[in-house]
Amino acid sequence: MPRDIFVKTPTDWSVSLEDGPHYTASALDALAAHWVTGQDLVIYSICAHCRGTVEISVKLGRIRFAHPAGVRVYVPESREPSRFFCSSEEFALWRRLHQQSSGVALTLEEALELGQHGTDPPGDEAARESGHGKA
Ligand SMILES: [Zn+2]
């Protein structure tokens, strides 16, 4: 069974799948939806700094396009959700106002790869999928 990363109520992270829009609780989960469902998809979200539209197309394991082109994904060390930003410049502006928040800002490619390995603690399922399960 795929990890259940979708939530029932609308959030800032909308993912268009074959059977309609779905929502996740963070930017990383929206990217991980590509791996969980195996479907090409488009993510519709907003920038956490300027609230501008962020649109990302993921196809065959790659970022096909992103608008704006310089989107960054901020992954906090705390339990806050990961968020999209228009650019590293806007992230830097936001960071100046939120200095208590520590974490890393990834490129979309880095975040997509991170999403492939899972954003939640690995369980039995992850162990089996890695092919290193005990006999
Ligand atoms: Zn922005």
Residue 10 CA to ligand 1 center (angstroms) comes to 20
Burial 66-94 (b: 16+ CB within 10 A, else e): bebeebbbbbeeeeebbbbbbbeebbeeb
CA gap 32, 27 in Å, rounded: 9
Residue 104 CA to ligand 1 center (angstroms) comes to 17
Average pLDDT over residues 108-114: 95
Residue 71 CA to ligand 1 center (angstroms) comes to 9
Question: What pLDDT is recorded for position 125?
Answer: 45
- The full DSSP string for 50-72 is T--EEEEEEETTEEEEEESTT-E
- What confidence tens digit (pLDDT) does each residue in 13-56 have? 999 999 999 999 999 999 999 999 999 999 999 999 999 999 99
Residue 22: φ, ψ to 5°: -130, 165
- What confidence tens digit (pLDDT) does each residue in 112-123 have? 999 988 655 444
**Domain annotation for the chain: domains and CATH numbers:** 6-119 (3.30.450.410)
Residue 89 CA to ligand 1 center (angstroms) comes to 9
- What confidence tens digit (pLDDT) does each residue in 85-107 have? 999 999 999 999 998 888 999 99
